[in-house]
Amino acid sequence: MPRYCQRQIFAIVVARKWADNLAFLFMDFLLSIHCPQCGADISFEEESRVVRCQYCGSTLHITGRSGVFRNYVKPFENIPRMKKALRGALKALGAKKALISEKKLLFAPYWRVKGMVYKWVFGKDVQGRLVKELKTKHLDQSFPAYCGVDLGLRSLGIRPGALKLPFFDREEMSKTGSVMKVELDFKEAVKQGSLLTEVGLDETDIQVYLERTRLVGERYNIIYFPFWMVRLSSGRKPRVLILDAVANTVTRVLTEEQWEVMEARSKKGRSRVNISKVGFIAFKCPNCGWDLPLNRFDVIHLCGTCKRAWIEQGGRFKGVRFEIADLPQGARQDVIYLPVWVFQAHITSNGQVLKTVADLQRFSKVLPSGVKQGGDQERFYFFMPAAKIRNILAADKLAAGLTNKQPAYQCVPAERIAELKTMGVFLSPRAAGDMAEILLCSLTPRNNRERQDFVKDAKISIDKMHVLWWPFHEQRLFLRDAICGCGIQKGTLDVGC
């Protein structure tokens, strides 16, 4: 085989392995719980909102997502690997033989924070050119929720992503080990999580004038990770070894006195966390009683029978207002409707107000686009794409394009929603509201310090949020907005949910 062919094959293999690694890094945890109908074990991705039991066929909606979930990792007792780790620890201590006088399992709590970090930067580069840059990253980090004890593992890394995590069950866990207390409360966990947002997004070659960092769609949960505590009697100096009960490797070697001090400190702590209990409700329309369509990652659920939209809040379904934008006269009829969260925004900063369409046009310095708009003195709206979009920059560009144009549109009757080709709503209303500050930065001119000063102290209040299905037609590799002409690449949309 020619050498250049070998190089191409090698490059393809490496690329595939790298893609697989990325998929592993960002994949959802696999959770498991007993079906409330038949008691069988149900496994599902953590982003799932709807699950179906493969044994009894029940379709259920998960509740309690607004609070803190608790899960745990089951230990993997690999005796040969554990013996090897103990022999290595003894060798390091200079001991030849030791007796195991005590062995017990501990479940130690770790906070896990997950979300998307957005960072807007305005300033100058080393050559004096004005810079306006949006940086993003996935945040998925864990840190100890216990205090006074150092078990030698400061983070769980990505390992829990490869394991099936049952929901917290104290009775079941207590059969094999003891459960340590959660001592780092939610407020402290949020503080520590906010410190992690800047990691990897530092600016080294930009003289920063304005920056805004926001963690959007963040979710906090607690994972109990297993450790073995092994007490060794070796001559006059007994030792306490801490082993990772999944990898079966030694994480810390302690003296008897060190262990006693750590254990005493841990008993003084108190749990100060409001835990959310996972629950299920029947996945049926609360108005007509018919089954809702099974789209497991959707936030909004459309009833095909009574043509109403529902969202789960507080353990029950609540109605959601939605609209469908009508096509312009003479437009192509072969369209797909993408969901958009639409809401009014009232923005104030140092006595100045950004409220009307005219205010927005003066602020963003956008020239008239020819798209039909409402009156200048009408309240302006933010348009936030709500479909599952992989490319964050593409989603931001589409949001800024629609918001800048402030299009006027007519609506078709809601009863027609079942006839149309629509994409599901993936973005929650809370996350859409959190994105308002990021979108305001997107609308801020790069070369206008006055507007950037306004953003520095801006306070945003949002109102009248609803879902709008907006028409797009296919144009080669793009979906082109049928009303404003804004586009987004088809490859950035995740249609498999």
Sign of the Cα torsion 173, 174, 176, 179 reads positive
Q: What pLDDT score does 23 carry?
A: 32
pLDDT of the residue at 495: 60
User: What is the average pLDDT across 422-445?
Assistant: 93
What percentage of the chain exceeds 70 in pLDDT? 91
Does residue 318 surpass a pLDDT of 90? yes
Residue 34: CB atoms within 10 A of its CB come to: 14
Predicted pLDDT of residue 224: 95
Q: What is the mean pLDDT of the chain?
A: 85
Least-confidence region, from 86-100, 117-131, 258-272, 410-424? 258-272
- Can you read off the two tokens belonging to residue 120? 């807007």
Average the pLDDT over 331-343 and give the result: 91
Mean pLDDT of 490-494: 86
Asked if residue 299 has pLDDT above 50, the reply is yes
pLDDT of residue 26: 40
Residue 28 has pLDDT above 70, yes or no: no
Strands 50-52, 249-255: pairing kind: unpaired
pLDDT surpassing 80 at residue 94: no
Of 17-26, 159-168, 187-196, 261-270, the least confident: 17-26
Confidence of residue 198 (pLDDT cuts 50, 70, 90): confident
Mean pLDDT of 343-365: 90
329 or 95: which leads in pLDDT: 329
| Average pLDDT of the residues in 345-349 | 92
Question: How many Å apart are CA 173 and CA 72, to the nearest integer?
Answer: 9
Q: Looking at residue 251, what is its pLDDT?
A: 92
Q: Does 20 have pLDDT greater than 50?
A: no
Is residue 454 scored above 60 in pLDDT?
Answer: yes
Q: Does residue 12 carry a pLDDT above 50?
A: no
Q: For residue 84, what pLDDT is reported?
A: 87
pLDDT at 88: 85
When pLDDT is averaged across residues 338-359 and rounded to a whole number, the result is: 92
Residue 344 has pLDDT above 70, yes or no: yes
Q: Are 256 and 232 in contact (CB under 8 A)?
A: no
pLDDT above 90 covers a percentage of the chain that reads: 45
Say if residue 19's pLDDT is above 80: no
Say what the pLDDT of residue 24 is. 30
CA distance 98 to 86: 10
* Per-residue pLDDT band at 27 (split at 50, 70, 90): very low
Tokens of 473: 């037609």
pLDDT band with cut points at 50, 70 and 90 for residue 411: very high
pLDDT at residue 21, rounded to an integer? 33
**pLDDT over 70 (residue 472):** yes
CA distance 137 to 147: 29
**Residue 311 — very low, low, confident or very high, per pLDDT cuts 50/70/90?**
very high
Q: Answer whether residue 467 shows pLDDT above 70.
A: yes
Task: Tell whether the model's pLDDT for residue 496 goes beyond 60.
Answer: no
pLDDT of residue 236: 66
pLDDT for 206 equals 86
Query: Between 333 and 383, where is the model more confident?
Result: 383
Per-residue burial over 452-488, b = 16 or more CB atoms within 10 Å of its CB, e = otherwise: bebbeebebebeebebbbbbbbeeeebbbbbbbebbb
Lowest average pLDDT, out of 108-112, 418-422, 440-444, goes to 418-422
Is residue 221 scored above 70 in pLDDT? yes
Does residue 233 surpass a pLDDT of 60?
yes
Q: What is the pLDDT of residues 106-119, one digit of tens each?
A: 999 999 999 999 99
From first CA to last CA, the distance across the chain in angstroms is 42
* Residues linked to residue 220 through DSSP beta bridges, in sequence order: 113
Q: What is the pLDDT of residue 272?
A: 65
